[in-house]
Structure 1
């Protein structure tokens, strides 16, 4: 019997930087009546508020929901309001080194990024995120820029050489996430185990970047049952199946 269902956000529950639609919100609320749910993604807390929580009524179901922003480097639980349990923040020197490496890597690869919308390199406290087209790029532009992750794999290969002491993962549609070594989604999964008292064998994870180098891949390495999806439409069908089985 599974006790916890864990989701990625962008590309799994919702399109990149977009809010949950009404169908997904209803499916998740139905799921929360049956089991505990966690959402772990590369976005920071404000992004979760906008994409996820704005679509949930404030009721007793929120007690069953855990939020892990920035690839599990932060953890929030609800108790008459959202409370931050921890944040594995980077130091100033670590941030400076990562940002410098990201600028070098993105200028070294053999493709042109062209126009950008908003911040390209964002300091999320516990994570530095590179978004090739900027944080506010139109979804249609983001979807076509690197659908097979080939461009970001080149950036990651350079970063692996220049800052090997950090965890570097690809996620979303145009992003590369950098965190402290070992502080990634696997770290978040083990925190869920400790804080909620739920064994790894009692969890299911659903995400769209479970391939090596993807920011969901560390979850797969923990041994948690992991289901790969292409988009929110596939995720909806899986949630329907889980709800029917519980």
Structure 2
């Protein structure tokens, strides 16, 4: 299965008087084409047109990951009780578990991903919350299948996460190129175009478009010039009941 999610087809939202805009390839309570699947509940790509702040608010059960693509974010939570700066290339993992509250200050010009996972909500809420910062220096690019790759989560990464069967990678294409990516037929994937014009399985995509994929063993990816893809791999069917299943 291949489902194209052009930016216009995602859940798009603007808040803070137009100073914070987001497009969401995964969003609960929105349209059917972006509804949660596998163990991924929410995925937002946000841009801060001006400095923005989310005041103290609660989370419970979910594992929340924020990836800083450009700019910087300062984060406070009731587990650490300190403000922590995160710069481009860094990411944070919040294991909200039995519950915490946090705040975020997002500088002007910042772009980030925030993704929520269900690590087995009904077990997670029995555990104490935890928060971990990871920094760009800890994630050196490698060459995997002939492609410059950063592994944020999964085999080869130092990141410790609760959500099972999870792999998160960023792929860099620095010239006109065509690759055949090997996929796990038992996994589901969402590929997000961070930069450039791409063809995925022959379908044209541009920056901020996404594509959901399942039940495939290989995928043809082509870029005309420099480009970047970010992708999340999850089990097609988690071996536990998710909160939306």
Normalization by structure 2: what TM-score?
0.29
Structure in which a larger fraction of residues adopt helix: 1
Larger strand percent: 2
TM-score (norm: length of structure 1):
0.29
Structure with greater contact order relative to length (CA < 8 Å, sep ≥ 6): 1
